[in-house]
Structure 1
Amino acid sequence: MTAPVTLLSLATATPPHVLTQDEALETGRHLLAGGFRDFDRMVSVFANAGIAERQLARPVEWYLSPRDFTERTAVYLEVALDLFMAVARDALAQAGLEASDVDTIVTVSSTGIATPSLDARAMAHMDFRSDVSRVPVFGLGCAGGVSGLALATRLARATPGSTVLFVTVELCSLAFRTEAVGKADVISVALFGDGAAACVVRSGDEGFAQLCGSAEKTWPDTLDIMGWEMEPNGFGVVLNRAIPAFARRNMQQAMDEMLGPQGLKIGDVDRFICHPGGAKVVDAMETAFGLNQGSLDHEREILRRHGNMSAPTALFVLDRMRDQGLPPLSVLTALGPGFTASTLTMRCAA
């Protein structure tokens, strides 16, 4: 019988520069209103986002000047690497391990381009072995925290006894644009922040959760819901305002389809741990899963304190759940470009 894969540790971090939601509104008004006539009609997005503050890769003043892709990439390589190493060291320390104990590194990031990848750059500063396997993944977006941890789980299961380090870093603020502004840009200014998370997984060891199964659901003809457009200054956000309505209509059936092969149904799950893409997305998830309004309280609190950090956000919620005590059976879930839902089923190991 295959030994279960366990989650040994979980670490989170954010950059130090704090932006309140009031400051985000004023910054957005200053930079976007001139090129987007409907800005004032959308200011309610800031008030209704459920966000008090978020953390950014640079002080807000940095974003007030035009930045080309070279400048954005330089910041990504510096800040993302710092965050990578911070959460990796923390996760390893929590697990009682050294960098040299790691056999595989899975790195998920979709908000910048690094070749060599972040894990390779980290090897100059951390004592990873020269034969460590590196698996950098780009393009998963907001689903990356769940999909990446699921990938790390499958790799650990395939090689019993091996140690897999999973790291996800996203600097969403670097995609901020002031040219060809549309509704998606206003929404992104209201929602997104920067952050990182890391986990250590291994089969056969004792941890705080057993990672039991994973699944994904990708809907056809949905490429325009979420993603990036490649522009001269870098990434331009694609973000459809219909995401909450889409989740409300489709997530119940999708979750049934993803849980079914594991012999589970929605009613068996003690707690859904959701990526809080925005306040309306959290509301939609509660409706789709038949939960009482307000049930996803930890999701709302992470959103309030950090905004939507893309891939790491679901792991911030999981970390908060761990502090409060995980229920017997939970499902970590997120939505991302594709348009794709991703899940990871967990049983509390305590």
Structure 2
Amino acid sequence: MTTTSTPPDARPAPAAVEPHGKHTLTPARIIGAGTAVTGNAYGQRELLDLFGITDPRTRSVFLNSAIERRFLTLPPRDDTGAFGTEPQGQLLAKHKRLALDMGARAVRRCLDDAGLALADIDHLCCVTTTGLLTPGVSAHLMRETGIRAGTSRMDVVGMGCNAGLNALNAVAAWATAHPGRVAVLLCVEACSAAYVMDGSMRTSVVNSLFGDGAAAIALSADPPDAAGPPSGGLPAVPGASAGPRLLGFASHLIDSAIDAMRYDWDDDQHKFSFYLDPDIPYVVGANAEQVVDRLLAGEGLRRTDIGHWLVHSGGKKVIDAVRVNLGLTRHDLRHTSGVLRDYGNLSSGSFLFSYERLVRERVVRAGDFGVLMTMGPGSTIETALVQW
């Protein structure tokens, strides 16, 4: 969809915060991004054949998912060559191993993109739903990579596919409150550590969707005395490039669908198991308009002012429902669909894989507006408005 963005000087300026009545803080800006996956990619048909799945209904779910491949770490094989069963303890150990490996690589690529080093990180936030660690991923990652011990940190655990934007809201606030300093947000999901194999249609749907991946972005805000207006100039971080400013966030909890997406204990399998209600794509689609319109109304914008849409790659039906209800085109959601095709559903970090693809496409112009959208358990829709 071709849209015309409202010039930055033609809309009301975002509300400014004036600490101590002296300076005006500017919104945080994304200054770098990086992604990582596990080492092995599998096609959907290949996975079906590897696990010897012949049930026509299950095969149909996999082969009609709009997913061509996913990066996964499969269970070890037993003496007969069959894939063994991984108890919950082994899955948690797998999560830790994969999360730290992917997470470290994503953070380093993000910093390289921003022209920064590990020593430049002042705040680290790690998001995951596919495993539980105490201390969290942030502490283990700091020890593994050598991030400064004085770096402040936060872990967001268990919120699901929407959690990346929940965390981005908090990290952007931290960066805005600490101008000139660097905050890094890491979404890392080892979905290979969250699978159940029981032959049911419930788990077949889940098992056809998710893949392993990590995505990191770096944020910073201009100091109050930085030269130039809030909407111009580069962040005062050496080597950083001008990415989009985060102008606002809007959330919507569909409490009537609180059980539609959940990750809870399965007594029969002695593991945690994920559940997706078949109707959830339509529930999300039906509620997308109100939260997006509320997000845009805060800046005096309409949907036609938005040039770039980066939506969570939740699944083919989810993407179609959002597209139809928001009046978008397939081109608008090309990166969302492309990430689903090439990686599957990456949970909390999916929208950042789309963001990275948009940046690499080099079609964004100064002044363009974009909307980020994620959805997940709650059921929840999270949105953010950005401007380049």
Calculate the TM-score normalised by the size of structure 1.
Answer: 0.91
**2:194 pairs with 1:178:** no
Q: Report the counterpart of residue 44 of structure 1 in structure 2.
A: 60
* Among candidates 187, 190, 213, match of residue 205 of structure 2: 187
1:329-348 → structure 2 map (5 Å cutoff)? 329-348=369-388
Name which one, 1 or 2, has greater alpha-carbon Rg: 2
Cα displacement (A) at 1:305:
0.8
Report SS of the residue matched to 1:221.
Answer: helix
Whichever structure has more helix as a proportion of its residues is 1
Q: What is the identity, as a one-letter code, of the residue corresponding to 1:330?
A: G
Q: Deviations over 1:50-76 (max 9, x none)?
A: 111000134675892111111111111
Distance 1:28 1:262, change over 3 A: farther
Cα displacement (A) at 1:151:
2.0
Q: Deviations over 1:66-109 (max 9, x none)?
A: 11111111111111111111111111122222222211101100
Calculate the TM-score normalised by the size of structure 2.
Answer: 0.82
Q: Report the counterpart of residue 278 of structure 2 in structure 1.
A: 241
Distance 1:254 1:3, change over 3 A: closer
Mean Cα displacement is larger for which, 238-247 or 259-268? 259-268
Cα displacement (A) at 1:7:
0.6
Report SS of the residue matched to 1:235.
Answer: strand
Q: Deviations over 1:114-144 (max 9, x none)?
A: 1111111122232322221110001221112
Q: What is the identity, as a one-letter code, of the residue corresponding to 1:322?
A: V
- 8 Å contact from structure 2 (residues 291, 383) kept in 1: no
Q: Deviations over 1:10-34 (max 9, x none)?
A: 000100111111023335653xx7x
Cα displacement (A) at 1:265:
2.8
Distance 1:184 1:151, change over 3 A: farther
Report SS of the residue matched to 1:67.
Answer: coil
* Among candidates 101, 122, 126, match of residue 141 of structure 2: 122
Q: What is the identity, as a one-letter code, of the residue corresponding to 2:303?
A: I
Q: Report the counterpart of residue 222 of structure 1 in structure 2.
A: 257
Distance 1:60 1:191 in 2: 21
Distance 1:216 1:46, change over 3 A: same
- 8 Å contact from structure 2 (residues 288, 322) kept in 1: yes
Distance 1:316 1:128, change over 3 A: same
**2:22 pairs with 1:2:** no
- 8 Å contact from structure 1 (residues 12, 87) kept in 2: yes
- 8 Å contact from structure 2 (residues 75, 86) kept in 1: no
Report SS of the residue matched to 1:108.
Answer: strand
Distance 1:235 1:99 in 2: 34
- 8 Å contact from structure 1 (residues 214, 343) kept in 2: yes
Distance 1:28 1:295 in 2: 36
Distance 2:77 2:348 in 1: 25
Cα displacement (A) at 1:262:
3.3
Q: What is the identity, as a one-letter code, of the residue corresponding to 2:336?
A: E
Distance 1:19 1:10, change over 3 A: same
Report SS of the residue matched to 2:242.
Answer: coil
- 8 Å contact from structure 1 (residues 25, 190) kept in 2: no
Q: Report the counterpart of residue 55 of structure 1 in structure 2.
A: 71
Q: Report the counterpart of residue 158 of structure 2 in structure 1.
A: 139
Q: Deviations over 1:199-247 (max 9, x none)?
A: 1100011522212111211112221111201236432011111122112
Number of aligned positions between the proteins: 340
Q: What is the identity, as a one-letter code, of the residue corresponding to 1:104?
A: H
**2:293 pairs with 1:253:** no
Q: What is the identity, as a one-letter code, of the residue corresponding to 2:62?
A: F
Cα displacement (A) at 1:293:
4.1
Gaps in structure 2 of 5+ consecutive residues: 1-23, 223-234, 236-240
State the identity %: 30
- 8 Å contact from structure 2 (residues 34, 107) kept in 1: yes
**2:208 pairs with 1:208:** no
- 8 Å contact from structure 1 (residues 19, 60) kept in 2: no
